[in-house]
Structure 1
């Protein structure tokens, strides 16, 4: 359950990040501010640490010099009291240890000069101090012979306590008893400086967090003043796109955003006025087409009756009059078809077209259409074949409309099956289906389509070649009606074509009415096309 919730959470977070300008601006500002604050804080801490350590080193060296000077004066005044070098060394070191206990430092005095390994058994040092861990070997090596005062950083270890950072200063004194030099190590802890640095660090971190919170709040407030009007304009634009043309952006103030809102409202008003004009014009046009189509049916019926009489009696006429009667009959058939198509287009425009759904086998539809167009194909010396699987290709559809779509595609393919060489090739009707969709593709090898014409071929009364005659008696509305029928089913009607390679029209329908289409079981580009092979 947790693994399934996490991807949804990430998806919602990413969606919010992509869609929210305010969130991106706030986060970007806070991140950049954090980088700057961290950089400045690090520099301040480095400067503070260096200053504290430098000041502590100066104080330590001053104190060591004072202690050594006092020790030398003590040795000069106690020559008669100390008879041996060991007694003088013991007296001096014990005094320094006692002094260090009150001054906050510890003392180490090895027995031999320059002990660079472990301290010898005769070393004298402050009780509890782990001298081998506290005095670095490098400093011991420095005092392997007579040398000047030197210091270094170290960690002071005491028995039963954690080690603490510190400074160790090494120096040498000369005992009057044997006129030899003895090394003294003074260890000063940096506990106070460490606490001060920690306090400064906590103060800087607290100040940085407060500063970042303040920057985030200020950025959020500033971006809110800009983003809120933009969001309001977006919501109004979405409602306008949904058809609520009366929506307007609320205007407050006289700044640039207010002027933008005013311009947006003016644009919306102009669009509303123009859309209403277009709707009125479209309504008038639709009404005109519908009225004309209906009104023409009565005189067409009368003319049809007279034409049928003349056509039936044409054998008794002279050849010219008989030919005129035949032409009249042909044009009356075309005129009647045009009226039917205009009525169908007017129903689509008025939104009055409805589906009568049923389980349709597209293979049977394709075969019926091929049988119906066989005479036309023979006239064009074209053979139409069906390429379909053995199992049924079923879809919930209006069989009358689907059959009309396929018939328009097949007759259109027959019209254009003859190429530039004048030789007609077969028209192939492919049928296929998958789990979610079913499709019919009509492939011809005629003149083809130029680039860009695949989108224009479904326009009303459009012809690829205006000089080309409609041999099948088409009205120029067949593909437009087919596209409307396809949209009514929630399907796709697409075209592909190349000059010299022919064309292919593909109809894709969902297997279940109302289901969304994601892919087609047939490719739009034919498998035998050069671009598909390449």
Structure 2
């Protein structure tokens, strides 16, 4: 299974590993400690291996150089006792080198006789006298050049010893080649004897040391990982417990507390956390009691006012029906009384609705409807008010049906509040700048925007416009006789659907409200099909990103999604 993140497709296993890495501080500490320990151990191991290798080679060089000098000294002694009248140089060379080759075969090193001095063919002449199977290429050319001229000192260097085995294959091993010159009495020429010592024992020793270091490093890393895991567990476990308790506190289990053991810093942290939780519980209970009293007060007052309001309504209706028999001043008073009674009754209805939201008693009656039909009903109902103000309200026809599973009554109330609010704040007698109701839908969400070109909203007012009884201009008269609770109730209706209700505005340029609802009930919203900023705005700063996920459990878009 592959999950696509942005433009990169990640396998499920890798995604889970990355999630675990981000969320587990214990894993990060253990892995970081292991990496640092591995780097340190590798550096120390490399240094120890280098020192061991240099020490082994240095010791081997001292041994073989001493052995060669002893062998050459013995050879010179034999030559000094040879007859000075011996003129067969070839026989004397054989008598010189054969014992050395036999000694080399028994002691594990090879021998090559080179010379005589000044022979341009190098080892080609004297090279016939050498250990069986030993290739002449085993002697480096730089060592041969060392003995050109009058240089008589013993010299050594590292080399690759190449041997031809009886089955015809070749074998290459690292070694040390030591060269030294002797003078042959028969012809008076100087010949170079090359001793080739393999480093087999040193290789085996170095391999053994390497295996021991690798084993020790592996065991040490396991030990470091275990110790780090145990130490971090002692610190992380109380933190995880605190996180779980904090999550349960956040979910409403206010009685949860941390268990306190010991007197260390973590125990003191747990004690402080418990004290904080107790204080929060006390404060939350006080706020809940105050909120319950407030909701009860609003509900009781709303219900208790209904009876006297009914009596006053009956008396007001009688006065309003008989206003033609009154003098003009009394008739006008009867008309004002009737209008204020209508507004008072609407206010009581809104207060009862708000109290139901506060009490968590509001519920949805879901139906699959076309939002275009709801918009037309709202606009038709608001047309008399729009005609009175001299304002034109237009519903744009969407490209496709905008259907959603919603509560028709609540959605109609939201759109009615938005349209009447737009009519209230539009410039009167301005048919050139109509109020536009626009809607669109995608696979996940449906959106409706109401755009007016009236007084607009000042910076910061787009977030305050949904507050209860808030008015941008308290001195401004309402055309529709609103109560100041319409947008607050609309916001609660939108949240009840799991949707968003947002506002954009600029002074003198009008405002736009956007309602976004999930097309299927219970589906979380991720984006809106319509932008929050009006489509007729050309300012790029007004472009609002809609492809961001909402904050967890908020039912709202990110704060950037509301601009003013």
2:192 to 170, 179, 183: 183
2:212 to 203, 214, 223: 203
* Conserved 8 A contact 1:527-1:533: no
2:437 partner SS: strand
* Conserved 8 A contact 1:504-1:526: yes
2:159 to 149, 154, 163: 154
Decide which moves more: 290-299 or 428-437: 428-437
* Conserved 8 A contact 1:107-1:126: yes
* Conserved 8 A contact 1:111-1:121: yes
Q: What is the CA distance between 1:6 and its match in structure 2?
A: 7.7
1:438 to 440, 446, 470: 446
Decide which moves more: 50-59 or 298-307: 50-59
Please name the residue that 2:562 is paired with. Answer: none
d(CA) in 2 for partners of 1:6 and 1:533?
34
Please name the residue that 1:412 is paired with. Answer: 421
2:267 paired with 1:258: yes
* Conserved 8 A contact 1:290-1:342: yes
Q: Counterparts of 1:424-463 in structure 2 under 5 Å? A: 425-463=433-471
* Conserved 8 A contact 1:395-1:511: yes
Please name the residue that 2:55 is paired with. Answer: 51
d(CA) in 2 for partners of 1:116 and 1:329?
133
Q: What is the CA distance between 1:121 and its match in structure 2?
A: 5.6
Q: What is the CA distance between 1:530 and its match in structure 2?
A: 3.8
Please name the residue that 1:300 is paired with. Answer: 309
Once the two structures are superposed, what CA deviation does each residue of 1:272-302 show, in whole Å capped at 9, x if it has no partner? 1111111111111111111111110110011
Q: What is the CA distance between 1:133 and its match in structure 2?
A: 2.6
Q: What is the CA distance between 1:123 and its match in structure 2?
A: 2.6
Decide which moves more: 428-437 or 123-132: 123-132
Please name the residue that 1:487 is paired with. Answer: 495
* Conserved 8 A contact 1:437-1:520: yes
1:368 to 372, 377, 385: 377
Once the two structures are superposed, what CA deviation does each residue of 1:322-368 show, in whole Å capped at 9, x if it has no partner? 11111111110000000000011111111111111222211111111
d(CA) in 1 for partners of 2:312 and 2:3?
76
* Conserved 8 A contact 1:357-1:398: yes
Q: What is the CA distance between 1:526 and its match in structure 2?
A: 0.8
d(CA) in 1 for partners of 2:3 and 2:140?
54
Shift of the 93–384 alpha-carbon distance from structure 1 to 2, 3 Å rule, reads same
TM-score, normalised on structure 1?
0.95
2:477 paired with 1:469: yes
* Conserved 8 A contact 2:122-2:144: no
Once the two structures are superposed, what CA deviation does each residue of 1:183-234 show, in whole Å capped at 9, x if it has no partner? 1111011111111111111111111111111111111111111000000000
d(CA) in 2 for partners of 1:384 and 1:402?
18
2:94 partner SS: helix
Q: How many correspondences in the alignment?
A: 533
d(CA) in 2 for partners of 1:311 and 1:330?
10
2:221 partner SS: helix
Q: What is the CA distance between 1:145 and its match in structure 2?
A: 3.3
Once the two structures are superposed, what CA deviation does each residue of 1:124-158 show, in whole Å capped at 9, x if it has no partner? 44443332231112222333334232211001111
Shift of the 241–81 alpha-carbon distance from structure 1 to 2, 3 Å rule, reads farther
Shift of the 226–116 alpha-carbon distance from structure 1 to 2, 3 Å rule, reads farther
2:467 partner SS: coil
Please name the residue that 2:32 is paired with. Answer: 28
d(CA) in 2 for partners of 1:3 and 1:437?
23
Please name the residue that 2:280 is paired with. Answer: 271
Shift of the 66–33 alpha-carbon distance from structure 1 to 2, 3 Å rule, reads same
2:261 partner SS: coil
Shift of the 227–292 alpha-carbon distance from structure 1 to 2, 3 Å rule, reads same
2:124 partner SS: coil
* Conserved 8 A contact 1:135-1:154: yes
* Conserved 8 A contact 2:437-2:450: yes
Q: What is the CA distance between 1:519 and its match in structure 2?
A: 1.8
Please name the residue that 1:312 is paired with. Answer: 321
d(CA) in 2 for partners of 1:360 and 1:97?
107
2:239 to 221, 224, 230: 230
Please name the residue that 1:392 is paired with. Answer: 401
1:64 partner SS: helix
2:539 partner SS: helix
* Conserved 8 A contact 1:29-1:219: yes
* Conserved 8 A contact 2:113-2:130: no
* Conserved 8 A contact 1:381-1:424: no
2:359 paired with 1:350: yes
1:158 partner SS: strand
Decide which moves more: 174-183 or 256-265: 174-183
Q: What is the CA distance between 1:9 and its match in structure 2?
A: 0.7
Q: What is the CA distance between 1:258 and its match in structure 2?
A: 0.5
Shift of the 407–136 alpha-carbon distance from structure 1 to 2, 3 Å rule, reads same
Q: Counterparts of 1:94-173 in structure 2 under 5 Å? A: 94-110=98-114, 112-113=116-117, 119-120=123-124, 123-147=127-151, 148-160=153-165, 162-173=171-182
* Conserved 8 A contact 1:112-1:182: yes
d(CA) in 2 for partners of 1:309 and 1:404?
31
Decide which moves more: 369-378 or 229-238: 369-378
Please name the residue that 1:522 is paired with. Answer: 530
Q: What is the CA distance between 1:452 and its match in structure 2?
A: 2.1
* Conserved 8 A contact 1:153-1:166: yes
TM-score, normalised on structure 2?
0.90
d(CA) in 1 for partners of 2:3 and 2:522?
33
d(CA) in 2 for partners of 1:289 and 1:425?
40
1:403 partner SS: helix
1:133 partner SS: helix
d(CA) in 2 for partners of 1:247 and 1:210?
43
